[in-house]
Structure 1
Amino acid sequence: MSEAYVYDAVRLPRGRVRKGGGTLAELPAYELFGQLLTALENRSCPAESVDDVIVGVSTAMGEQGGDVARAAELWAGWPDSVPGGVVSRLCCSGLDAVESGAARVAAGYAEVVIAGGVESMSRVPMLSDRPAIASDADLGERTGFVTIGVSADLTAAEYGITRAELDAYAVRSHRRAGAAMVSSSVVPARKGGTLLLANDEGARADASEEVFAALPTLFGADPAWERVARRLPGSPRPADGLHTIATAPQLADGASAVLLGGRSAHRTLGRDPLARIVGTGQAAVRSPLLTAPAVAARIALRRAGITAADLDVIEVNESFAVTPLVLIGELGLDPERVNPSGGALAVGHPLGATGGILIAQALDELRRRDGEFALITIPAALGLGSAMILRRTS
């Protein structure tokens, strides 16, 4: 069996979703991802050399349905011979797409694959597809599906994480995002010849623990707590809730694309790989807990043959402030190596696009730190989690 390498990773800046239209609301999902296909082609990926395009989408309906990968290729003017398809694993969709593409390369079924994700939350809101887990009461009871904010509060209460700790982490996320360096992996989003957005938006310069402490909690009175009590008898319930709008991920539009290839793909692509994928992990825990990223990370670390102490960079999706705090505690991580450029609390979580975004950020940070190993991990609803380990090669 051969190996899978990352030759390039690009992403659009994350655009905040707002009432009345976000910054990227003019761009349908196929155009968001299509701009990245054009960027990769301009950066030395001949379109005709691509064996497949795999796109992760969380809410695959409307204009994000009907195989948005193929639609993006045709929008970008790529050859008719390039196939494309979609995978969906809720918030893990983008990372799952990259893992799927890497598996095809490693198995020798493809030489060059582009994988990533896209989500236009402005145009196709989360849960607008009315999935059975959210709309069928019997299935919701069987699966333990609740508002993900309730899952976040429950998980924080299980781990004894306080409101003050959550607020402090959110402040750090905003400050790091505000100070983050602009990376060459970010492709400015345009509409025709008009620049819409060049950098991530959303980081608050006024972020402080005092400001965030004054915000009301969101989920303490949610009726879904009754389902939690039936699903997990004896579980703690914080009286007034724990997470607020500041410690919840911001809604965003975005897209990401990762160029994958085998060991010899450098001859086709005219460039050396940036990293090798050395471990992946898929995990699930009893829903509605959000602890699967730590489980998936341990699986990926074991498969990579390294320990958490070997990690130079950790990019964990900030699916509420509790997620990185649990991961830090479970794996004994150095907080300075976790999300060094901030995360979704500050600049948003465009669902299916996030996996590829975190890969691009991890590669950027490995170069800046001259590091070797990076972990990327994401939780999703229904107790799911995905993880990946990269080993820098150049």
Structure 2
Amino acid sequence: MREAVIIDAIRTPIGKRNGFLSGMRPDFMLAEVMSNLIIKNEISVELLDEIIIGHSPLIGEAASEMVKLAGISTGIPMHNLGAIISRQCRSSQQAVNLAAQAILSGDHDIVIATGVEFVSGFSKLLNKNVWKEINKQRVAAERIADIWGISRKHLDQYALNSRQRAFQAKKEGRFEKEILPLDLIQPNGKTIEVKHDSHLTKEYSIEDLSLIQPFFQENGKIHIGNSGKISDGAGAVLLMSNTRAEEMGLRPRFRILNRTVLGTDPSILYTGLIKGTNEALVNAGINIDQIDIFEINEDYASVPLIWLQETKADPSKLNPNGGAIALGHPVAATGIRMLSTMIHELDRISGRYGLMGVCEVNGIVNVTIVERI
């Protein structure tokens, strides 16, 4: 049976907005992660059928040029520079899904799926329309917290747990296999090596979080401390057909079992992750107790908390190394960040199944299930 399998995945460290990645062009970020995959796995660029790049809507018309520049820097032939997709938070996850579909259909055998976010370089483009869309998400996050009866204290406790898990993972070196260290030239001309996510520098207490002002109203629950941090970053995944991997002597690490996409009411847009999870499990023919790791995007703490309430999943399996609240949310690269973290953790614990879910501002949801081989 023809399968779409994952050979490898890598990502950059996540940088704060206007932080250490702000001086690195997005095409260079892409070139770094793609080159690493190609060299590490000894793949000839001539064998690549296509690269699929998820990018930020902020990049807009510059996306096609960015892809060309990234491809040239990597040495990928121009005729293999394929699809460019912008699906906000789902961009890179959708890139992986499209790569899997191309492989399963028989159109392609070797595809690199990538994602890149460079919010620092496009800060001036964060105009009223962009903030209007972000505010829609914040309103939805407040709304679902009210509907499901989740208190501010509960939201803050979840955020604190996410950070504690991420700090513990960093301390144990769990991120080392997924993060590609970068040599970055500083304004003073010196070069530094960056190999850790920049948000993991300061630990908070529940008291610290309780003092942060909410985004909207005085009695609101959602604030910067229990929300994902919009950040810079890039990631890439090497996918193949199982037959081509076998021919090349490469060991597939995971197979993609299911790709579920659905829409939901944008006023409570995050509820789609609940339905999407249930549909994906049915389509994959497994039950929720068989999943070893869940990666549900932490746009806001209320999102994974209502998901937990409705799915009855084991909380210890949810974002075991922290999520966007702790690590950052490089929007168009978040899907691959989550996938990379999930598969490396599955390897570490010898788990079998992983499920990840991401929702975008318009209420469209992606849920992907992978199986460790």
TM-score, normalisation: structure 2: 0.91
Q: RMSD across aligned C-alpha pairs, in angstroms?
A: 2.2
Select between 26-35 and 106-115 the one with higher mean Cα deviation.
26-35
For residue 88 of structure 2, give the secondary structure of its aligned residue in structure 1.
Answer: coil
Q: For residue 130 of structure 1, report the CA deviation from its aligned partner.
A: 6.9
For residue 381 of structure 1, give the secondary structure of its aligned residue in structure 2.
Answer: coil
The code of the aligned residue for 1:96 comes to Q
- 1:387 counterpart = 2:347: no
- 1:178 counterpart = 2:175: no
- 1:263 counterpart = 2:242: yes
CA contact (8 A) 1:32 1:118 kept: yes
Deviations 1:348-376 (A, max 9, x none): 10001011111111111111111100001
Partner of 2:191: 194
Decide which of 310, 331, 351 is 1:330's aligned counterpart: 310
Report % sequence identity.
Answer: 29
Extract unaligned runs of 5+ from structure 1. 221-238
The code of the aligned residue for 1:243 comes to I
Structure 1 residues 391, 117: CA separation in 2 closer, same or farther (over 3 Å shift)?
A: same
Separation in 2 of the partners of 1:65 and 1:130?
Answer: 22
For residue 10 of structure 1, give the secondary structure of its aligned residue in structure 2.
Answer: strand
Extract unaligned runs of 5+ from structure 2. none
Partner of 1:235: none
Partner of 2:2: 2
- 1:366 counterpart = 2:346: yes
Consecutive aligned runs of 4 or more in structure 1 exceeding 6 Å deviation: none
Q: For residue 46 of structure 1, report the CA deviation from its aligned partner.
A: 2.1
Partner of 2:119: 121
Structure 1 residues 349, 304: CA separation in 2 closer, same or farther (over 3 Å shift)?
A: same
For residue 158 of structure 2, give the secondary structure of its aligned residue in structure 1.
Answer: helix
The code of the aligned residue for 2:100 comes to A
CA contact (8 A) 2:14 2:328 kept: yes
* Structure (1/2) with the larger helix percentage: 2
CA contact (8 A) 1:29 1:118 kept: yes
Separation in 2 of the partners of 1:50 and 1:83?
Answer: 9
Separation in 2 of the partners of 1:276 and 1:51?
Answer: 19
For residue 382 of structure 1, give the secondary structure of its aligned residue in structure 2.
Answer: coil
The code of the aligned residue for 1:281 comes to T
Deviations 1:157-209 (A, max 9, x none): 11111101100000011111111123312111234793452111212543221
Select between 265-274 and 341-350 the one with higher mean Cα deviation.
265-274
CA contact (8 A) 2:261 2:276 kept: yes
Decide which of 211, 215, 223 is 2:212's aligned counterpart: 215
The code of the aligned residue for 2:158 comes to Y
Partner of 1:23: 20
Separation in 2 of the partners of 1:86 and 1:67?
Answer: 11
CA contact (8 A) 1:312 1:372 kept: yes
For residue 177 of structure 1, give the secondary structure of its aligned residue in structure 2.
Answer: helix
Q: For residue 42 of structure 1, report the CA deviation from its aligned partner.
A: 1.3
TM-score, normalisation: structure 1: 0.87
How many residues get paired?
Answer: 363
- 1:378 counterpart = 2:345: no
Decide which of 33, 36, 39 is 1:36's aligned counterpart: 33
- 1:311 counterpart = 2:304: no
- 1:206 counterpart = 2:195: no
Separation in 2 of the partners of 1:33 and 1:387?
Answer: 24
CA contact (8 A) 1:178 1:205 kept: no
Q: For residue 285 of structure 1, report the CA deviation from its aligned partner.
A: 1.1
